[in-house]
Chain A
Amino acid sequence: MTGNLTLALTVGALYTAGTFLLLQRTLTRVVLGLGLLAHGANLLLLQAGGVAGSVPFVGKQDGPSGAGTADPLPQAMVLTAIVITFGVSAFLLALAYRSWVLTGEDDVQDDVEDRRVARRQDQP
C-alpha cells in the first residue's frame, strides 16, 4: 500500500501536539488537545483507504466497475467519527464551563487520593 508522506507527517504532528496539550493542567488546553488527538486519529483512518485522487465510487461511466475507485468505507467511518467527536467536544466544553462556574478556576481539580496524600504531607 502506498501512503502519503505529508498526511503521515501531519498525523504524527497532530498526535504529538494533542498528547502534549492533554498532559497540561488547564482544562481548555486539555479540550484542545483531545480535539487535535481526534483529528489525528481521523486522518489516520482516512489514510487507511489508500491514496487520494482516485475516481469516486459512484458516477463513473467507463472502465470495469469498482476498479481503481476510491474506497468509500473509511470516508464514511471518518464522517461518523467526526460527528461523534464534535458532539462530545461540545459536552466537554460545557463541562469545563460548569467547572469554571463552580470553582472559578480553569484547572483540572485534584482527585480524592491527591488530597489525602497532600493532607498527610502537611501533618508533622
Chain B
Amino acid sequence: MIRILLPLPIVLPLLAAGLSVVVGRHQRLQRALSVLTLTAVVAVAGRLLFVADTDGPAVVQLGGWVAPAGISLVGDRLSTLLLLVSSLVLLAVLLYAIGQGAADGRRTTVAVFHPCYLVLAAGIAMAFLTGDLFNLFVAFEVMLVASYVLITLDGGAEQVRAGMTYVVVSLVASALFVTAVGLVYAATGTVNMADAAVRLAELPDGVRLVLGLMLLVVFGIKAAIFPLFSWLPDSYPTAPSPVTAVFAGLLTKVGVYAIIRTQTLLFPGDGPTASVLLVLAVLTMVIGILGALVQDDLKRLLSFTIVGHIGYMLLGLGLYSVAGLAGAILYTVHHITVQTTLFLVAGLIERREGTSSMARSGGLQHVAPVLAVLYLVPALSLAGIPPLSGFLAKLGLIQAGTADGGVLALVGVGAAILTSLLTLYAVGKVWSSVFWGPVAPVIPDEDPTDAVEVGTARTPRLMLGAAAFAVAGGLAITVVAGPLYALTSRAAADLMAPASYVQAVLVPR
C-alpha cells in the first residue's frame, strides 16, 4: 500500500499538470482538476504522516532499483509533516487564486497558471520526499522552473526586472548545487543520502566540512539566510499575491528543510558548522527584521519579515539538540501557515485600497472590519503574542536555547526576543497606518490591463473564505499544539539519531 501512496504526491500533480494543459480552454475543468488533485494530495499526505509516525520511515525504491543504486523516496516524520502542511497551504492558496481569477475575469494568464502551480506542487513534494541528493537537485529545478513562470506570468516591466534577478540568482545556486553533488560523488561514490551518510563519516574532517558548507551555501540561497537573502525582498512583491503567498510560505521553507536534512543526516554534529549556523541565525533575524522596519510597501515589508524569521529555524538547528530541532520544526510549520496567510490578506488589502503603499492607505477598519480581523490574528501570531502559534514556537526555541546555555545560544535567544519585539513593531506599524486613521480614498487601478484587479470594493467570497481558512489553520496549530509539539519532538529525535533513517533506506524489508 505504502509503495503506491508514497510517490503519489509527486505523480498526481505532474499528471494533472499535463492534463491541465490539454483542457486549457475549459477554465472550469482546469480549476476542478487542480482542486481535486491537491485535495487528493492532502489526503495522501495525511495518511503518510500517520504511517510514518506509527511505523517509522516509509521507503520506496523507484523502479525496483535497490538503494544505493536507485533513487529512494523516504517519508519520515519530518518530511511527511511538512508535506501535509504544504499541501494544505497549496490548496488554500489555490482556492484564493481561483476566487481572484473568477472575479476579475481579466485576460488570461489563467490557462498557464494551473499547470505551473501543479508542477510547483510536485516539485515541493519531491523535495520533501526524496532520499537522493541528485534527485533533490532535480526537485529544486522542477519547483524553480515552475516558480520562474509564475513570477513572470504578467510579463510587465517590473515582473521581468525582478524575475531576471530571481532566475539568475537561482541559477547560480543550481550551478553550485551541481558542483557540490559532483564533489560529494567524487568523495563518496554515492548520491543516495542514507548511503552518503555512512560513507561521509569515514572522510577526513576537512573534506566533510567543505562539502557541508558548500551545501549550506546552496540551500542558504534558496532559504534566504543572511548574506544571501537580497534577491528575496526584491523579487517576491512583484508577483500577484497568491503567487507571492505560496512562494513566501513554501519555497524558502523547502530550503530550510534541505538545510535541516543535510546538516543532521549527512554532516551530523560537525563542530564549526553549528556555531556558524548560530551566528548566521542571529544575523539573519536582526538584519531581516531591521530591513522590514523601513519599508513603506506592505508586500516588501512582509518579504523582509520572511528573511528575519528564517533565522529562528536556523537557531533551532544550530542548537543541535532534540528540543532545538523540535522548536525549529514547529516554527517551520507555524511560519508556513502564518506567512502565507499574511500575504493572502495583503492581497485583499491591496485589492481594497488599490495600492500596497502604507502611506497612501488608511482607515480600513471602518470600511472592512473583517479584513482587519483577518490581518490582526496572523500578524500577532507572527510577532509571537500568546496564545497564538508564533508564541508557542518561539517559546520552544527560547527554552531550548536557555537549556543549551552556551554563549552563542544565549545571544541567539536574545536576538530571537529582540526580533520578536521588532516584528511586533513592524506589524503594528502596518496596523496603525493601514487600518487606523482617517479613511484614505481608494486609488483606482493603475494598470487595468494586467491580470489582477485592484481598487475595488468587490471582494469575492472565495478569496475571503480562503484567507479565513488559512487564518483558521494558524489558530488550529494553537489548539493542537500539545500533540503537534510531541510529534515534532519525535521527528527531532529521529533527526538526532539518523541511524534509523539510514537503516530504513539501506536494509530491504
A contact set with B: CB distance below 8 Å? 1, 18, 22, 27, 30, 34, 37-38, 40-42, 44-49, 73-74, 77, 80-81, 84, 87-88, 91-92, 95-96, 98-99, 102-103, 108-109, 111-113
Contacts and interface: CB of A to CB of B under 8 A. Distances in A.
B163 interface: yes
Nearest to B149: A91
Contacts, number: 99
B429 interface: no
Contact of B152 (A37, A40, A95, A108): A95
A77 B191 contact: yes
A64 B329 CA distance: 49
Contacts of A22: 168, 172
21 contacts: A18-B175, A22-B172, A27-B164, A38-B178, A41-B176, A41-B182, A44-B179, A44-B182, A44-B183, A45-B178, A45-B185, A47-B186, A73-B185, A84-B141, A84-B174, A88-B167, A91-B149, A92-B171, A95-B160, A99-B161, A109-B161
8 smallest CB-CB distances across A and B, nearest first, come from A45-B182, A48-B186, A41-B178, A48-B185, A109-B161, A44-B182, A37-B175, A102-B157
Interface string B146-167: 0011001001110011111101
A103 to B, nearest CB: 7
Contacts of A84: 138, 141, 145, 174
A99 B168 CA distance: 14
- Between A46, A77, A92, the greatest number of chain B beta carbons within 10 A of the residue's beta carbon is seen for A77
Given A34-B172, A34-B175, A108-B164, A74 B145 contact: no
A42 B178 contact: yes
A113 B148 CA distance: 22
A74 B181 CA distance: 10
B157 A47 contact: no
B234 interface: yes
A96 B163 CA distance: 10
B140 to A, nearest CB: 10
A64 to B, nearest CB: 18
Report the contact-size class of chain B (Cβ under 8 Å from the partner). Answer: 20 to 34
Given A95-B160, A113-B234, 15 more contacts: A1-B186, A34-B172, A37-B175, A38-B171, A41-B182, A42-B178, A44-B183, A45-B181, A74-B185, A84-B138, A84-B141, A95-B167, A108-B164, A111-B165, A111-B234
Given A87-B145, A111-B234, A112-B234, A34 B171 contact: yes
B182 A99 contact: no
A60 to B, nearest CB: 18
A88 to B, nearest CB: 6
A33 B182 CA distance: 20
- Between B141, B149, B160, the greatest number of chain A beta carbons within 10 A of the residue's beta carbon is seen for B160
B229 to A, nearest CB: 13
Nearest to B296: A116
B423 to A, nearest CB: 21
B164 A99 contact: yes
A44 B187 CA distance: 12
A14 to B, nearest CB: 10
Interface in B39-62: none
B178 A81 contact: yes
Contacts of B179: 40-41, 44-45
A30 B168 contact: yes
Nearest to B177: A41
B308 to A, nearest CB: 17
B183 A48 contact: yes
A98 B185 CA distance: 39
Contacts of A48: 182-183, 185-186
A42 B145 CA distance: 19
A113 B152 CA distance: 20
B114 interface: no
B300 interface: yes
B172 A74 contact: no
Contacts of B167: 88, 91-92, 95
